[in-house]
Structure 1
Amino acid sequence: MDKKKFARVAESLRKFQRAELKEFENELGQKPVDKVYVDPLEGEAVLETVLSGNTTFLFGRKGTGKSTIISRAQSELRKKQDSLSIYLDVKSINETSQTSSVLSNFSENREVVLEIIQPHILRKAFLIEIFTKLIDELDSICKKTSIIDRFLGRHYKYEELKSEIDLLKERARSGVLHNAELPILQTIEKEVKKRHQEGLKRKDNAELAGEASISKASIKAGLKTEDVEEILDDDEVYEKYSKAVLRTFPYQELIKKLTDLLNELSFSSLVIFFDDFSELTWIEQRLFVDVILAPLNNTSDEKIKLKVAAYPGRAYYGNIDPSKIDILNLDFYHLYKSSDVQTMEQKAIDYTRRLIENRFLAFGIRPEDYFSSVADIKDYYILLFQVSFNVPRLMGHILHSCYLDQVSRNEKITLQSIRLASRKYYENVLFQYFDRKNRYATEPFSRKLDRYNQKLLLKKLTNESKSLKTKISTGEVGGKYFEGLSNPPVSHFTVYPTLEPMLASLELNFLLTKYHEMRDKSGNDVSVYCLNYGLCEDERLAWGYPKGRRDDRSYFVQRCFSYNGVVHQFLASTQTIKCDSCGATYPIEEKEKIEYFDWLCKECKQGRCKVTSLSDDYIKELQNLNEDLKLEEVELDILEILKSEGREMRAGEVSALIDKSHQLVGWRTTKLKENDLVEKESKNNVTLNKITERAKAIYFNDESESNLKT
């Protein structure tokens, strides 16, 4: 038993990283990703799809292997002489643009308030930075490869293109506004002014009667980032805004010059991989597509091929026609969808086996040497699939926990130790998505409220499963169908497809997972979801369905597993429909009727209605929180990693585990040090970070955490 090699296997799976696995080159050779890559489908069908000549959107939750597939595809493309490939980490580029010296000194005598100009300039800086990075990467690749001679012959064209981008960047950083931008920014300010005025009117009607004017100082005092984003959510306002931004960028001309350069270099195509696309805000994402992706996709004469990695349900296509592109979803249900559960599971478990066996083999060890012979090795693959749903990063966390608890002590892994690792991951990582972030993260109130409502919904679903377990055990529901089941599995439930959007955030964060689609006993289409395995372990709920029963295929469609009523009751208690103008509210049951009339308010006939989350209790809870203790979300993530790892860490080590750039981690840890939350120490010219006792006492107090689930 080689403990160190097992630890490296787990580490290679669990890290957020640019998937090339460069830190493992000593063990795996010069091209680690080629050695460890295992395609989710037989015949490397996923890789072949990504390598096709079509624009491709690759969907998957965090850790599903999108970056690994991209890295493997790039490895193949580099072998070709007639094409180039470029990788752009969209999130990192966005972070760099936000933390650089983009914002210069702005004059307060502008025609638009500073709070509207600043985010606008930052968005422009990000878009320019994307194109800058693209050109820089092209230059770097050409200089590193055998095409250097032909590239140098055309280098003047590259320099011309580069100087135009630099000029755009300089204009953005200096805050120069284009004539096309000013009118729409003034429109946005006018809308902010209108909403601010209406809010004050509702607060004190007598004070602001008629057409009372609102000063810029007054707007500034009440203006929040989410106010502007809500205004830009209006399709009509956004369309004007995006067109104005597009007019300030001569992208059509730049793209033409780029394709001309590729032609002169005798390349058939340039493949651009855009990773972490969904990490952008909704407005940034839409602008990114409308200003960058769509023009590249639609006006490059198919010279430029786009490959975009995104989260499920978090993608905007804009003017890109979805019917003309390839769409791949890496979540197991979509990859292995079949008419019956068993066939789907067999395909998924086979991938688990191939992934584990290949990864162990790459490091020169065998799975059989680390898993107890008390159970068959196939049983371990089945359980690893169930606790991770084939998400390599989750699998890495499970194996890392097993390393700490068993392998490091020369003990072999058992089925029970995998279940315990799943429970620990749920308690220490997944559940913290709700509590620590909601308590201490600096973010828009609407996001906190949405997360709080998700927590309530998950609790309601879990309580329903616990109640159902009791009712089945006592014979209150199910009749003879459940006879002989001493511990009936209640982890899965069904809802109508129309309710799937209500579960999307919980699924994105691995607290729920879509498992299957089928028809219920009434012939209606239903979607089968399941609770996280670790959550079920925590609540002592049996996971799965009874195996070996003659009618086990119909287990999920028993009427007691229909949770449509549960979700509807939750929505009725936590959501309402509210007019953004007069403030009138309507019950959620009237949604379809109001939506039919294009969300027009039937009271004032002017305002637009939208679904709003309600929680008076939570508003009171937030008011009691100490604002001084709040941190940016990334800062909380840094503290969580330093706490969970329990050791001194380099910025690069932390960044690999939280999916942020090491530069950003370095800047944030410096800020945390100033607040006595992180200690920094230099050893052998390397700066190491360690969480302070003060930070542990404030953000990881054992007593407060024990009450998180109540």
Structure 2
Amino acid sequence: MDQELLSVASEIEKAFKSLIKSGRPDITDDENNSLIESLYVDLFDNDYILKQVLDDNHTLLKGRRGTGKSTIFLRAEQELQKSKKMFAIYINLQTCYEEVKSANSDEENLALTKYLTYKNFLTEILKSIQKRFSSKFSSDKEFEDLFKAIEEGKYIDKDFQRSIDVTSIQSQEHKKDIGGKLSLKDVTINAAHNSVDKNESTVSTKVTELRIFSIHEILKRIKEIAHKRGISKIYLFLDDFSELNLDSQKVVIDSLIAPIISSYNETYKVKLAAYPSRIYTGNIDSTKLPSYALDFYDAFEQSSNTYVDVEVLAIDYIKRTLTRRLEIYTENQINLEEIFDLDRAPLEEYLKTLFNCSASIPRSLGFILNYAYLSSINKGNRITIENINTASIKYYEENILADFINDVRFKQSFYDDKDLLDQLAQKNLMDKIIEKLFNVKREMIDQYQKGTLKKQIFVDSLKQYRKGSMYWLPTSHFFINQETEKLLKTLELYFIVNKFNEGSSREPGKKISYYGLNYGLCLLKRIDYGRPAFRRTYDYWRQEEFNLNEYIPRVISNIEIIKCESCNKIYDETEYNIYLNYKRCFKCTEENTVRVTNKFQTKFKKKIEEWHEKRLPDSYINILRILYNNIDVEMTAFEIGTQIDRHHLSVTQAMRPLVSNNYVRYKERDKRYYKITDTAVTRFFSDTLNTIE
């Protein structure tokens, strides 16, 4: 047992857990001083990404969850606060969207939802600007007068007047909320008439005018006031953009962001954070909104000559990140080399394994190291490769897979066909890819044992890595033509697959992309990960056995089923085209009974209904997720709030329905300490899809 390691174990744990924080990860020391400036590690030398966020251009940061977008924004804000000529406004767009959903539960009211999105986002900008100005200029009559005028409705945009039909299911006491004048707190709606049915539960309202505050005039006036006080630039940090659905993103971009970019270039600087493949930019000129990737391949491939160079840069980023965290949290009492068992493997192997299992994503790295900590450092032992592997499986099962198949807030790539590639179809696609790659290994070993394996590259691998009756033959990676790789974008968003490389196809004029399955998934499914060390990546991964270019589209096409709802006759495409001319089933002759559906919809109908019953506000799900990730720990509202960027009073308020529904329990000592219940774990985080036959 390493006593020196045990003496700083709690500090090492804090270093690992600090990487897990989501939302506004303002990490502080024991005296509540921010550590972000000292902990910040940029992807590139000389804080290149940070400098792009601080420059005079509008900026789009693209990265999957946990890649550090919010941390970069927070670090940039701290830097801007040092200047008297600039100030920053941070807005969490997911929060705005939550308010829209709770205010408008009728999802069919798309028009009203769009306007509520507009209103909430603009209101959040105004409130943030007002708060920042108030802190910078304690008493400013000119600014107070502006907000008084806004409250009185003097900045209404007449161009946004619309006539729409709204049907709202409301209780009698809330009917008055449909019409009337709403100010900065609400959209202004003038109702022409209300019709109420006899049971007085449904109000059908014809809205003849929907009045929205004009962003143009308000921002122009704010700019004038700011310039008088020596403020030349106002930075708008817009986080969690991809948490919005496509319709809401269109509202925010077309009605708000695009006008700011085109009309207020010298004063307002838009800094947007989003997920790759889940972002709408409308007609914004890409030269006016340059994007910077944070996922390792997209980030490093432009500055690298080969994939090996990409990997070296990604591993170096992990090394720099962990080195800095340990330096700060342990006050230089322990270094990176001392937390790993170097008697069993060199440091380079540990870092390579961490790259494989985390894809250089800081939050993933934090989860895996925190899980590994419990089975090693917490017991006075150094971390081993086995600890990391076990932690990778745990992270995959309890975080990645749970989010992917059970989270009712499922986020699809905008490349997906919403009717076809839903959550269930994506799970089927994942299963089929796993099955295919596992079978490649099994078939190669079978051929090798029979002496019929012809490809020397596989023969050499099986010879070199055989241990007794055990063979090591990696089949974790595959390739697909770039024109069809969009089919993988949702799986990539959920870390089921990661993009590793690009190359030339054997088909003239086409390019291919290389993907790898999640490392923890491979360990769980007994798929060997990586490639033989004696072979170049390009040689091994490019073998035709790993070509899924036809396989993946075929899996997707098989998701559809054409069937008569009356007699269950299955149609092929040719038969269906003939049916469309006559609209009578070939078998039962019933009219208009043949439908094209997702074949999983019937099989999983009950499960879909259960998911809808589980719907909770996103903020509640986030709280449960934090408690689930810390399932053996009691947490205070303050501790939870720091990880989800919410005030502790907001967390306490959310706990009331969570406790009453038996999703959370607590013990009261000096304050309340919360834990997730088995009911919530089973309902929200159990692997339900794997139990369905």
Task: State TM-score, norm by structure 1.
Answer: 0.77
1:538 aligns with 2:524: yes
1:43 aligns with 2:46: yes
Correspondence for 1:436: 406
Q: Which amino acid aligns with 2:636?
A: R
SS at match of 2:235: strand
CA deviation after TM superposition for structure 1 residue 511, in Å: 0.8
Alignment of 1:166-185 (within 5 A): 166-167=151-152, 181-185=161-165
CA deviation after TM superposition for structure 1 residue 465, in Å: 0.6
Correspondence for 1:460: 432
Q: Output the CA distance in 2 between the equivalents of 1:484 and 1:310.
A: 44
- Select the structure that is richer in strand: 2
Q: Output the CA distance in 2 between the equivalents of 1:492 and 1:457.
A: 15
Give yes or no for contact 1:128–1:165 (8 Å, CA) kept in 2.
Answer: no
- Select the structure that is richer in helix: 1
Task: Give 1:74's match in structure 2, choosing from 49, 73, 77.
Answer: 77
1:389 aligns with 2:359: yes
Q: Output the CA distance in 1 between the equivalents of 2:254 and 2:410.
A: 34
Q: Output the CA distance in 1 between the equivalents of 2:159 and 2:322.
A: 58
Q: Output the CA distance in 2 between the equivalents of 1:665 and 1:250.
A: 33
Q: Output the CA distance in 2 between the equivalents of 1:253 and 1:586.
A: 58
Task: Give 2:477's match in structure 1, choosing from 492, 499, 503.
Answer: 492
Task: Give 2:323's match in structure 1, choosing from 340, 354, 357.
Answer: 357
Which ranges in structure 1 are unaligned for 5 or more consecutive residues?
104-113, 172-176, 189-214, 224-240, 579-584, 594-600, 605-609
Alignment of 1:559-638 (within 5 A): 559-575=544-560, 613-622=598-607, 625=610, 635-638=620-623
Correspondence for 2:590: none
SS at match of 2:396: helix
Q: 1:577 to 1:354 in 2, by over 3 A?
A: farther
Q: Output the CA distance in 2 between the equivalents of 1:665 and 1:10.
A: 24
Give yes or no for contact 1:471–1:477 (8 Å, CA) kept in 2.
Answer: no
Task: State TM-score, norm by structure 2.
Answer: 0.78
Task: Give 1:136's match in structure 2, choosing from 94, 114, 127.
Answer: 127
CA deviation after TM superposition for structure 1 residue 66, in Å: 0.5
Which range is displaced more, 540-549 or 643-652? 643-652
Task: Give 1:95's match in structure 2, choosing from 73, 98, 101.
Answer: 98
Task: Give 2:492's match in structure 1, choosing from 478, 503, 507.
Answer: 507
Correspondence for 2:339: 370
Q: 1:575 to 1:170 in 2, by over 3 A?
A: farther
Give yes or no for contact 2:505–2:511 (8 Å, CA) kept in 1.
Answer: yes
Correspondence for 2:214: 250
Alignment of 1:615-694 (within 5 A): 615-622=600-607, 625=610, 635-644=620-629, 645-657=631-643, 665-684=651-670, 686-694=671-679
Q: Output the CA distance in 2 between the equivalents of 1:339 and 1:273.
A: 33
CA deviation after TM superposition for structure 1 residue 162, in Å: 1.3
Q: Output the CA distance in 2 between the equivalents of 1:328 and 1:303.
A: 22
CA deviation after TM superposition for structure 1 residue 461, in Å: 0.4
CA deviation after TM superposition for structure 1 residue 698, in Å: 5.6
Q: Output the CA distance in 2 between the equivalents of 1:414 and 1:638.
A: 32
Q: Which amino acid aligns with 1:484?
A: D
Give yes or no for contact 1:371–1:412 (8 Å, CA) kept in 2.
Answer: yes
CA deviation after TM superposition for structure 1 residue 417, in Å: 0.8
CA deviation after TM superposition for structure 1 residue 141, in Å: 3.1
Task: Give 2:514's match in structure 1, choosing from 518, 528, 538.
Answer: 528
Which range is displaced more, 527-536 or 560-569? 560-569
CA deviation after TM superposition for structure 1 residue 693, in Å: 4.8
Q: Output the CA distance in 2 between the equivalents of 1:300 and 1:58.
A: 20
Q: Which amino acid aligns with 2:458?
A: F
SS at match of 2:16: helix
SS at match of 1:411: coil
1:306 aligns with 2:309: no
Alignment of 1:293-332 (within 5 A): 293-332=257-296
RMSD of aligned residue pairs (Cα, Å): 4.1
SS at match of 1:30: coil
Q: 1:297 to 1:526 in 2, by over 3 A?
A: same
1:421 aligns with 2:395: no
Q: Which amino acid aligns with 1:560?
A: E
Q: Which amino acid aligns with 1:77?
A: L
Which range is displaced more, 396-405 or 278-287? 278-287
Q: 1:659 to 1:546 in 2, by over 3 A?
A: farther
Q: Which amino acid aligns with 2:88?
A: S
Give yes or no for contact 1:58–1:309 (8 Å, CA) kept in 2.
Answer: yes
Which ranges in structure 2 are unaligned for 5 or more consecutive residues?
169-194, 412-416, 463-471, 564-569, 584-594
Which range is displaced more, 2-11 or 252-261? 252-261
Q: 1:82 to 1:616 in 2, by over 3 A?
A: closer
Which range is displaced more, 159-168 or 297-306? 159-168
1:472 aligns with 2:444: yes
Q: Which amino acid aligns with 1:366?
A: N
Sequence identity, in percent?
Answer: 28
Give yes or no for contact 2:25–2:643 (8 Å, CA) kept in 1.
Answer: no
Q: Output the CA distance in 1 between the equivalents of 2:611 and 2:543.
A: 48
Q: Output the CA distance in 1 between the equivalents of 2:606 and 2:562.
A: 23
CA deviation after TM superposition for structure 1 residue 39, in Å: 0.7
Task: Give 2:459's match in structure 1, choosing from 471, 483, 489.
Answer: 483
SS at match of 1:307: strand
CA deviation after TM superposition for structure 1 residue 268, in Å: 2.1
Q: Output the CA distance in 2 between the equivalents of 1:178 and 1:256.
A: 17
CA deviation after TM superposition for structure 1 residue 431, in Å: 1.2
Correspondence for 2:16: 10
Q: Output the CA distance in 2 between the equivalents of 1:36 and 1:569.
A: 47
Correspondence for 1:196: none
Task: Give 1:269's match in structure 2, choosing from 233, 243, 246.
Answer: 233
Q: Output the CA distance in 1 between the equivalents of 2:99 and 2:122.
A: 14
SS at match of 2:550: helix
Q: 1:682 to 1:132 in 2, by over 3 A?
A: farther
Give yes or no for contact 2:667–2:673 (8 Å, CA) kept in 1.
Answer: yes
Per-residue CA distance 1:174-203 (angstroms, 9 max, x = gap): xxx989654344799xxxxxxxxxxxxxxx
Correspondence for 1:212: none
